[in-house]
């Protein structure tokens, strides 16, 4: 169970100003409804909504701080998934697939670079496609395209981005499609 704790701090001397925690069980939802305004109530009740973004932020900070080598770790996670791919679905496999998503832009850069090289048609390409699509869906940037290979999906995705770029311009893509813009900067 996810525990929600709200703590507000005074700017100085950084001492807790308020501590509040909803009660468990059937009291949880009514307590949340009393504490939060209607405009943000659904977000307050959805304990999972912000987890992926928060984890991506943490991974980004660790990578920028030099604590994680993104390329090495992504390669390792993909190898782990490939070794588990033939096994029945299990929590470790799902956990590894989620981990790729936590790498965010680093995962996209990793996959985009390999897809730009071409001929990415095996299981590894499907893993990269799946991670990319999960990240792109967060930003409403994925395309509705059923592909036979990861490379086929990527080629269609790149073609759709180039269509947007030709129609709207690079500044439009940069402002409205940051993950697509990342790809255009790698090309």
Ordered by start, the domain boundaries in the chain are 6-45, 51-186
> Alpha carbon 16 to chain centroid distance?
32
User: Is the Cβ–Cβ distance between 73 and 103 less than 8 Å?
Assistant: yes
User: How do the residues of the chain divide into helix, strand and coil, expressed in percent and rounded to 5?
Assistant: 65, 5, 30
Q: What is the mean pLDDT of residues 35-51?
A: 83
Return the DSSP state at 46.
-
Compare 172 and 18 and report the one with higher pLDDT: 172
- Condensed to tens digits (0 to 9), the pLDDT of residues 87-99 reads 666 778 888 899 9
Beta bridge partners of 9: 16
How many other C-beta atoms can be found within 10 angstroms of the C-beta atom of residue 173? 21
Beta bridge partners of 7: 19
Q: Enter the pTM of the model.
A: 0.77
* Predicted confidence (pLDDT) at residue 9 exceeds the cutoff of 70: no
Least confident window among 34-43, 97-106, 114-123, 161-170:
34-43
* Predicted confidence (pLDDT) at residue 8 exceeds the cutoff of 60: no
Residue 28 to residue 26: CA distance in whole angstroms:
6
- Condensed to tens digits (0 to 9), the pLDDT of residues 64-117 reads 999 999 999 999 999 999 988 776 667 788 888 999 999 999 999 999 999 999
């Amino acid at each position: 169970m996810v525990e929600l704790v709200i703590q507000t701090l005074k700017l100085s001397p950084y001492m807790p100003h308020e501590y509040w925690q909803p009660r468990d069980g059937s009291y949880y939802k009514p307590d949340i409804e009393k504490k939060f305004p209607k405009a943000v109530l659904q977000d307050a009740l959805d304990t999972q909504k912000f987890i992926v973004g928060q984890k991506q932020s943490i991974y980004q900070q660790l990578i920028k701080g030099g604590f994680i080598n993104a390329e090495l770790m992504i390669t390792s996670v993909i190898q782990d998934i490939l070794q588990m791919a033939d096994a029945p679905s299990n929590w470790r496999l799902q956990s590894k697939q989620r981990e790729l998503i936590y790498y965010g832009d680093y995962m996209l850069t990793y996959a985009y670079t390999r897809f730009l090289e071409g001929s990415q048609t095996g299981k590894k390409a499907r893993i990269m496609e799946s991670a990319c699509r999960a990240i792109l869906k967060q930003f409403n940037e994925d395309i509705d395209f059923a592909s036979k290979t990861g490379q086929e999906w990527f080629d269609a995705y790149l073609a759709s981005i180039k269509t947007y770029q030709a129609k709207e311009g690079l500044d439009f893509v940069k402002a409205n499609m940051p993950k697509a813009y990342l790809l255009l900067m790698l090309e």
